[in-house]
Amino acid sequence: MTILLIMVAAGLVILLMAGDLLVRGAVGLAALLRIPPLIVGLTIVAFGTSAPELVVTIKAVLSGSSGIAIGNIIGSNFANVLLVLGAPALIYPIRCATEGLDLDATIMLAATAFFSAIAYAVGAIDFKLGLTLLVLIVSFVAYSGLRAARGGASAIVEDPQEIGGVPREPMKTAALLVVGLVGLPLGAGLLVDNGGEIARRMAVREELIGLTIVAFGTSLPELSTVVSAALRKQSDVALGNVVGSNIFNLLAVGGAAGVAGGAAFDVMSLHFDIPVMAAAATLVAAYIWGNRTLGRFSGFVFTGLYLGYVAVLASTAQII
C-alpha cells in the first residue's frame, strides 16, 4: 500500500509540473507566432490550466475507472469553493464585488444544474452528452471573448503576462512543450492506475479516490495561487479563478469524459456528492450576487465544511 501511495504522489507531482510547463511553453509559442493576448488568455491559458484534470479524466475513462473521472469533477468543484476560497479568506478578506462576476456565477450555476440533470435523468455522460458539454464550453469561451473585446469582464479571461517563466527562445519553448506533453499522460497514468488499485485493495468505491486524492491534488495549483495572493492582500482574484475553473470542470472535463468513452454516476454520487457540489456552488453564487465579503468567519466556515465533507466521505468509504 505504501508503494501505491508513493506512486500516486509521484503521479500528482509529475502531472502538475507537466501542466505548468505545457502552459508556459504554449504561451511562449503563441508569443513567437504573435497571437493576440486576448486569444491566448481565452484558449491556451484557460484550457491549459485545466489540462491535468482533462488528462486524468480521459485516462480514467479509457482505463475503465470512470468513477475516478466523475469523482474528480465533483470533488474539484467542491474543493474550489470551500477550500480554495476558505483557506485564503482566513488570511485576508475576499471581496465579491468583482465586475462581471455575477453573470459568470449565474453561468456556473446553470452548468451545475445541467450537469446534475444529466446525472439524475440519464445516470451517465455518454458520447452525445459529452459532445453537448464540449459545444457549451466552446460557446461560453466565444461569448467570454466577445464580452472581453467589448470591454466587459469574464472569469475565464486570463492575462498571459501573469504567467511566469514564459520562454522567448524557440528551442526552450519546444523543450517545455515536449516535456509537458510527455509528462501529462505519464503523471495521469501513475495517478489513475495506482489510485484505482488503492480503491480495489481497500474495497471502496473509485469515486472516493477521485473526490479526495485526485480532486485535492489537482486543486493545489489554484490553492497555492490564491493563498499567495491573499498574503499580498490581493485575494480578490480568487473568485474569478474558482468560478472559471468550476465551469471548465463541468463542461470541458465532463465533456471529455463522455467523448472518451462515457462515465456513469454511482448511487452515492446521486444521493450525496452532487447535492453537496450544487449546494457549494449556490453558496458562493449567493455571496457574489449579494456583493458580500468572505471574511475570516466565512473562511472558517468554508474550510470547516470541506473538512467535514472529507470526514463524511471517510466514514462512508466502505459503501460501494
Q: How far is Cα 241 from Cα 83, in angstroms, rounded to an integer?
A: 13
The pLDDT of residue 166? 77
Residue predicted with more confidence, 221 or 250? 250
Q: How far is Cα 109 from Cα 12, in angstroms, rounded to an integer?
A: 29
The pLDDT of residue 165? 74
DSSP for residue 152: -
Residue 251, pLDDT above cutoff 90: yes
Contacts of 74 (CB under 8 A, 6+ apart): 207, 210, 211, 215, 269, 273, 274, 277
In 3-state terms the chain splits into helix, strand, coil percentages (rounded to 5) of: 80, 0, 20
Q: How far is Cα 223 from Cα 83, in angstroms, rounded to an integer?
A: 8
State the pLDDT confidence band at 235, using cuts at 50, 70 and 90.
low
What average pLDDT score do residues 148-159 get? 66
State the pLDDT confidence band at 155, using cuts at 50, 70 and 90.
low
Q: Whole-prediction pTM value?
A: 0.86
- CB environment 86-115: b (16+ within 10 A), e (fewer): bbbbbbbbbebebebbebbbebbbebbebb
Least confident of 15-29, 120-134, 272-286: 15-29
What average pLDDT score do residues 212-232 get? 76
Contacts of 275 (CB under 8 A, 6+ apart): none
Average pLDDT for the chain: 83
What average pLDDT score do residues 65-78 get? 89
23 with 163: CB under 8 angstroms? yes
State the pLDDT confidence band at 7, using cuts at 50, 70 and 90.
confident
Contacts of 68 (CB under 8 A, 6+ apart): 56, 60, 192, 195, 196, 199, 206, 207, 209, 210, 214
Q: How far is Cα 128 from Cα 180, in angstroms, rounded to an integer?
A: 30
Q: What is the enclosing helix (H) or strand (E) of 144? A: helix 127-149
Task: State the maximum Cα–Cα separation within the chain, in Å, rounded to a whole number.
Answer: 54
Residue 25, pLDDT above cutoff 60: yes
Residue predicted with more confidence, 82 or 18? 82
3-class DSSP string for 215-276? HHHHHHHHHHHHHHHHHCCCCCHHHHHHHHHHHHHHHHHHHHHHHHCCEECCHHHHHHHHHH
Least confident of 6-10, 39-43, 76-80, 203-207: 39-43
Q: Which of 45, 127, 83 is nearest to 305 (CA)?
A: 83
**CA 6 from chain center: how many Å?**
23
What average pLDDT score do residues 272-276 get? 93
Q: How far is CA 106 from each of CA 103, 109, 222, 289, 309, rounded to the nearest angstrom?
A: 5, 5, 21, 9, 24
Residue predicted with more confidence, 218 or 271? 271
Least confident of 8-12, 99-103, 157-161, 215-219: 157-161
Q: What is the enclosing helix (H) or strand (E) of 125? A: strand 124-125
Least confident of 55-64, 95-104, 296-305: 95-104
User: For the segment 85-136, what is each residue's pLDDT rounded down to a tens digit?
Assistant: 888 888 888 887 667 788 889 999 999 999 999 999 999 999 999 999 999 9
For residue 2, the tally of other CB atoms under 10 A from its CB is 6
Q: How far is Cα 206 from Cα 198, in angstroms, rounded to an integer?
A: 9
What average pLDDT score do residues 216-241 get? 73
The pLDDT of residue 250? 94
Residue 263, pLDDT above cutoff 60: yes
The pLDDT of residue 319? 46
